[in-house]
Amino acid sequence: MTAGALVSYGPIGSQHAFASAIGSSTQRLRIGLIADAQYADADSKGSRFYRQSIDKLESAIAQFNEQALDFCVHLGDLIDRYWESFDPMLSILHGSKHPFYHVLGNHDFDLQDDYKAQVPSKIKMPNRFYSVSQNEWRFLFLDTNDVSLYGLPKTSPRYEEATQRLQQLKEERKSQAQDWNGAIGNPQLEWMENECNIAKTMQQRVI
Mean pLDDT within 93-113: 98
Which backbone phi and psi does 203 adopt, to 5 degrees? 55, 45
Say what the pLDDT of residue 163 is: 96
Strand, helix or coil at 126? coil
Computed over every residue of the chain, the mean pLDDT equals 90
Say what the pLDDT of residue 28 is: 86
pLDDT in tens, 21-58: 444 555 789 999 999 999 999 999 999 999 999 999 99
Q: Which domain holds residue 136?
A: 5-206
Strand, helix or coil at 132? strand
Tell me how far CA of residue 92 lies from CA of 13, 37, 87, 95, in angstroms: 29, 12, 9, 5
Question: What total number of domains does the chain contain?
Answer: 1
What is the CA 4 to chain-centroid distance, rounded? 4
> Which residues, other chains included, contact 125 with Cβ-Cβ below 8 Å and sequence gap of 6+?
101, 102, 104, 141
Q: Is 177 left (phi over 0), alpha (psi -120 to 50) or beta?
A: beta
How many contiguous H segments (helices) and E segments (strands) does the chain have? 6, 7
Q: What is the CATH number of the domain that holds 144?
A: 3.60.21.10
Residue 4 has pLDDT above 60, yes or no: no
pLDDT in tens, 144-181: 999 999 999 999 989 999 999 999 999 999 999 999 99
pLDDT in tens, 75-86: 999 999 999 999
